[in-house]
Structure formats: C-alpha cells, structure tokens
Structure 1
Amino acid sequence: MSSEDKLNKLEKLDELAFAQYELLPAIVQDYASGEVLMLAYMNRDSLQKTLETGLTCFWSRSRKTLWQKGETSGNTQVVKEIFYDCDADTLLIKVQPNGPACHTGHRSCFFRSLPFDAPEL
C-alpha cells in the first residue's frame, strides 16, 4: 500500500465518530448473499487492525480486549467492503465468511425470532 493510500485511510478514520463514541457498532454482512451475520463493536485500534490485515477484528466489551474473528475457531471473515453511515457512528462491513459467524455454530447470530403479528395498516 502506498503512503498516499495509508494517509487516505487515516483521514477517513478521522471522519468517524470515535471522539464522541469510544466504540462504534459494526454490522457484519455476507458480501455475496447480503445476509446479516452479526453485530459487534469496534474501537479505533480494531478498525485499524481490520484495515491492515483484511480480516475482521473487534473490541470485546466483556473481555476489554481486541479479538480477531476466527482467531481460535478458524471462522475468519475476509473483508470485502466497509461503509459508514451518514452520522459516521455505525459501520457496515461486508465479508466473505469462512465458516459460521456465531459462536453457537449458526451461520448468523440472528437465528432466533420474536413472535410478531404485524398489525394491519
């Protein structure tokens, strides 16, 4: 990566709301299917590591440390695209998953549903 590319990435990082919020929610989506796989949190360091390695890295709120997805399970996520929203406080990361995203073994962490009867409008 050229020095100019690195500078552009750093400038983009400065656009994000890390100054206001220490952690940003990161929605992880399957690049090919569009399926939402998980929601995790990123701080500046985890996003920087993600940009450097091309693999998702998050901040564990419970363990208070960085964790690279798949570090122990082998279920890594190769980053294809990263977007941020209009308020610069939420990330959307499109990945090529190498195995299930959920620690339970499910493809997506969103495998349970709440009973819901939509009201007629």
Structure 2
Amino acid sequence: MRYLWIVAAVAVPALASPTSKYDRVWHGYEAELAKQCGAKHLEWLAPAELRDALDDYKQSAPRSIARRMSHAEERECRNSIAGASCSNVGDIEVAEEAHRIQQAAAHVCGEYVGCREQSDCDRLGS
C-alpha cells in the first residue's frame, strides 16, 4: 500500500508538467504574460500577430540575443510547415534561456490593447 502512494506522488506531478518542448516553452511564456497583463488575454493572439510583436522585440533586444533568436527561428522552422508558430517558439525559447522572458512578455503586452477571443485582438495605435 505504501508503494502505491509513492507511485502516485511521483506520477501526478509528471502528468501536470509540460511534456513537449512546445508545451514547456509556451507554459513559461503564458505564465509571464498572465502575470503582466492577464486581463488583456494576449494568449489569444494569432501566431502572425505574436510574430509581429516578437519581431519588434527582437529589434530592441541586444544584438547577441537577436542573433540567437534568428538562429532558433531557422532551427525550429527547418522541418516545419507551421508558419509563424515555429518562429515564435524559437524566439520565446531563447528569451527564456537568456532570462529575458519578462522583457519579451512586457513588449508583447505593450503592443496590444487586448483580445476579445482567439485571433480577435487590437493593436495599440490601430
């Protein structure tokens, strides 16, 4: 009986944690986005809208980070037909690895007024 509790205690956290690279990368980004501007519901940005914001962020990031982001985009999209999503994952992964996810999320928060539903979002100044 004691062994069942140990297995359950180990298995439950494993089920709750992100398993794929995509899930892991998005989990950290969306948590930071929710912390900074959750009421805007920017998790509903279309991939192309997020791509625009990340491109703007990349232009303002230190050159070494921007280069890493470009390399990550190429790597993630090399064997993909997923459009902007693969580039987004590459950029967000670099931002997290460089401990700059807070700055990247703040940049995205600053570019959009908010979203009403999936892919129905308003950009500032639009």
Interval containing the TM-score (normalised by the shorter chain): under 0.3
Q: TM-score, normalised by structure 1?
A: 0.28
Between Structure 1 and Structure 2, whose CA radius of gyration is higher?
A: 2
Return the structure number with greater strand share.
1
Q: TM-score, normalised by structure 2?
A: 0.27
Structure number with greater CO (CA < 8 Å, separation at least 6) is 2
